[in-house]
A = this chain, B = another copy of it.
Amino acid sequence: MKQWLDATLKQLNLVETMEQPTGFTRLGYTEEENESLQAFITIAKELGLYIIEDAAGNVIARWETNNGVEEKVAIGSHVDTVTNGGGYDGTAGVLVSLGAIKLLKEEGFTPTHPIDVIVFRSEESSRFGISTVGSKAISGILDPSIGSVTDADGISIKEAVEALGYQWEDFSQAKRTDIKSFVELHIEQGTVIEDAGKQYGVVRGVACPIRLKVKVQGKAGHTGTTPMNKRQDALLAASHLIPFVSETAIKLNATSELPVVATVSTIECKPNAMNVIPGVVELGIDIRSVDDSLKSKVADEIRNKCLTIEKELNCSIEIDVLVHNPSILLDESIQKKLLQAGDHLGYTNLLMDSGAGHDVMNMQQLCPSGLIFIPCRDGLSHHPKEYASIEDLYIGVEIVAQFLRIETGERDEHSRRSSRS
């Protein structure tokens, strides 16, 4: 199995070795994502699964049953990446799902429900600034108006999907009503599991972000001829906000139970020329916590700070809220099953929260859903050096297989009863 995991990981990533100095770039709804999906289809067929592509381009590999049960148990993740990202974010979950099917098939397991391995389209927000497009479609929560949102080349989501042969108008048809439960496995993208000395994590809540766009308007002028006391330097003004954002998160963490993180992650400066004082600067701020009130507190403090900066640095500041999503609490019964699975197999685990968004947060709005984290080296993610060991992937395979045994096995009813007692 471990050899199979290693070979299949490379196959899904379309490489001979996972050592890729510039990482992996498979943006959503591109030929690159398609190629990885084709690899997935090849592997799934070898495992005897039946392939369905839905109206949003999500690929589903189904383990059929002959017992007339319509309700499917679903597992899966995504294969798209950020620009120059890693080969594990998303792909690990797809790999482990296939591995769990292989394990169960090899032991002659017969599921009581059809099992769907879903590869969701365009999970990352790198291309269009919008994340989890495929799982939003499946969950029936995709806003059709985002079709006009464009990538850096001016190509809209609608144009991008149509170039691949899909119809944007049909995306709503991808909504599912036949899924009993969903479980995703993902690399942690942090070091909480490692720091706690455990083998895997089961996620309680997904910290969805508040995202702000802060536009600082100063006045452009010649860098050589404008005296220091006559300037309205937008970058100088913005530079006072950047440390404040992280300091505010650190300050709140000292007194709150749940953590909050806040980052100025993007900056655009205009005209960005050596001999011109910056006239306009736009900052993108990402604030996350499972505790929604903490996120709002950080956003409020940023707003107040901007008022001070406007006065002190002679500029005007506009704040737009790009995203304000309440955090998602995952299903408790699924959490229990995922913990039980590890307990049964002898793997140590912990309940934890996710700072990052995942397809599972949309699926939770459709059906009881759960998220398993496996460790990744140094917590590094969205980076060419992102890495999870085959050993940890194998633990994931065993946990997911055990979950499927619980969820779709004949012992299903029995184990539910015993866990309630």
Contact = CB atoms under 8 A, between A and B. Distances in A.
Contact of A286 (B223, B249, B354): B223
A261 B382 contact: no
A82 to B, nearest CB: 6
Interface string A67-80: 00000000000000
Given A227-B190, A235-B267, A221 B380 contact: yes
Interface string A114-155: 000000000011100101000000000000000000000000
A225 B265 contact: no
A226 B275 contact: no
Given A190-B222, A224-B261, A276 B382 contact: yes
* Most B-side CB within 10 Å, residue of A83, A253, A267, A277: A267
A324 to B, nearest CB: 14
Nearest to A239: B242
A290 to B, nearest CB: 10
Report how many copies the assembly holds.
2
B259 A277 contact: no
A264 B228 CA distance: 12
A400 to B, nearest CB: 21
Contacts of A222: 189-190, 355-356, 381-382
A259 B382 CA distance: 46
A225 B274 contact: no
A215 interface: no
A356 B222 CA distance: 8
Contact of A246 (B83, B236, B268): B236
B261 A286 contact: no
Contact of A265 (B129, B131, B259, B277): B277
Contact of A274 (B207, B246, B249, B286): B286
Contacts of A95: none
A412 B204 CA distance: 90
Given A224-B357, A246-B233, A249-B228, A82 B381 contact: no
A170 to B, nearest CB: 28
A219 to B, nearest CB: 8
A347 B24 CA distance: 67
Contacts of A354: 224-225
B190 A225 contact: yes
Contacts of A189: 222, 224-226
A381 B279 CA distance: 12
A243 interface: yes
A338 B281 CA distance: 41
Contacts of A236: 242-243, 246, 264
Interface in A259-297: 259, 261-269, 271-279, 284, 286, 288
Interface pairs A-B: 4 shortest CB-CB: A224-B355, A239-B242, A190-B225, A189-B225
Given A222-B355, A226-B379, A265-B274, 5 more contacts: A190-B227, A222-B356, A235-B264, A236-B243, A236-B264
